[in-house]
Structure formats: C-alpha cells, structure tokens
C-alpha cells in the first residue's frame, strides 16, 4: 500500500502542471450547486441534499436544479477522465497530451452518460421512497450502493475501456477483492478533506471565504490526488504494475 501511495505522489508531482489544468472543471463542478435552488447544505467541502425538502420545490426550481446538476456532472466527468488519462499515459509511457487529445471527449461523454442515468434512477427511487414515507436507512443504503458502483467507474472505462454496465459492476468486484484499498482511500480522503476544512476555519472568519478556500483547495489539490490514487489502486489488479 505504501508503494502505491508513493507512486501516486510521484505521478501527481511529476505531472502537477497538467493535473492542475485538468482539475479546473472540478472547481466549476463544485461551484454550480451554489447557484441552484436545491435544498442542500455544505459540510467538509461537499454538498448534501435535504431529501425531505424535495416535495416543496416548484417546477421552475426542478428545471434549474436539473440543469445545474447536469452541467456539474459533465464537468466532474471531464476532470475525472482527464486526470485518470494522465495516470494512464504515465504508466504506458505515452505522451500525456497525445493520450488526452485522442480519448478525452469519448471517455468524458461515456462517464457523463453513466452519471446522468444513475442520477435519474437515484432521484426516481428516492422520490418513491419518500412518497411512501420510508425511513432514512433505505436512503442511506441506496446511496452507498450507488457509491460502490461508481467508485472505480472512471478507471474501468479509461484504463480498460470497459462498457458502461460491466464497468459499474466491476467496481463492486474490485472492492470486494481488495476491501482494504477501498477503506484506505476513504480514510485518506476524509483526513485530507478534514484538514482543508479545519484550515479554512483557522484562516477565515467569513463563511463565504471559508467555502471558497475549501472549494479551490479541494478542487485543485485534494480531489486530483485522490483520483490519481484511485487509478493506481485500480491498477493493482495487474501484477506487472505492482
């Protein structure tokens, strides 16, 4: 595991300029929820939906939310694919610019389409569960199930060119075979994001300044590194790259 983290840090630092450039869409993706009427709250640099407020939204609110979510997912897909392509190019000894230009659009559209379909299905199921007055546990289990399926989605598509459905289910397979890698990633993600959030409270008293600082640092440094680490963890399935 330490070797994987070391390789991830080396890849991140070696291609820092390219990764920073490709991480700009992360900023856009995280900023878009601020301009929608969705009933969300911010915590640790992320946005979380107040599911109980969904029935109170108007049709106009829903349209605006749908557009903001759609564009947010598009920019998120672009950043995920671009950073993962950097890792792929570094491991296959190809030029990053050539690899990115050749496959960036194709992979981004595939990942975005999957995100969009999953989000629609998730909202439909969520709305149904709320309509029948279910508790929070089924909602949490649904979100966790979706998270597991999406976790290794981008690496599966970019690194192995898997089709959407096999890519979704391969994430479950990969996590079940190496659960400690998944847990390690979660722990590192929590610690890094927590440190950034704590720094924002130490440095700024204004809520907007804290939020802006958190979004920028997470988008340009934390999330890209986590994507690089995620790709390296996925490639552990190949003995040759260990």
Residue 38 backbone phi and psi in degrees, to 5:
-65, 140
Spans of the chain below 50 pLDDT: 39, 41, 43-47, 53, 240-242
pLDDT of residue 119: 86
pLDDT of residue 41: 46
Give the domain range for residue 104.
2-241
Beta-bridge partner residues of 49: 40
Question: 141: which DSSP letter?
Answer: H
For 240, other C-beta atoms within 10 Å of its C-beta total 6
pLDDT of residue 34: 67
Number of structural domains found in the chain:
1
Residue 9 backbone phi and psi in degrees, to 5:
-65, -40
pLDDT digits (tens, 9 = 90+) for 74-118: 999 999 999 999 998 887 766 656 655 678 899 999 999 999 999
Distance CA 103, CA 107 (A): 6
Distance CA 139, CA 160 (A): 32
pLDDT digits (tens, 9 = 90+) for 158-181: 988 899 999 999 999 999 999 999
């Amino acid at each position: 595991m330490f070797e994987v983290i070391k390789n991830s840090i080396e890849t991140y630092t070696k291609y820092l300029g390219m990764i920073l450039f490709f991480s700009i869409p992360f900023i856009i993706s995280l900023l878009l929820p601020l301009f929608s009427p969705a009933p969300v709250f911010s915590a640790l640099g992320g946005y979380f939906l107040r599911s109980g407020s969904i029935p109170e939204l108007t049709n106009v609110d829903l349209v605006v939310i749908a557009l903001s979510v759609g564009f947010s997912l598009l920019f998120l897909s672009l950043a995920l694919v671009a950073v993962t392509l950097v890792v792929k190019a570094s491991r296959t000894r190809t030029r990053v610019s050539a690899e990115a230009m050749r496959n960036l659009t194709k992979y981004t559209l595939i990942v975005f389409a999957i995100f969009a379909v999953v989000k629609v299905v998730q909202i439909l199921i969520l709305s149904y569960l709320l309509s029948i007055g279910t508790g929070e546990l089924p909602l949490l289990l649904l979100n966790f199930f979706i998270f597991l399926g999406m976790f290794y989605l981008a690496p599966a598509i970019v690194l192995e060119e898997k089709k959407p459905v096999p890519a979704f289910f391969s994430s479950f397979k990969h996590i079940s075979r190496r659960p400690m890698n998944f847990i390690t990633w979660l722990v590192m993600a929590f610690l890094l994001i927590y440190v950034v959030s704590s720094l924002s409270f130490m440095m700024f008293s204004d809520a907007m300044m804290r939020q802006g600082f958190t979004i920028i640092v997470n988008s340009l440094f934390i999330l890209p590194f986590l994507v690089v680490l995620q790709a390296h963890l996925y490639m552990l399935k190949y003995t040759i790259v260990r």
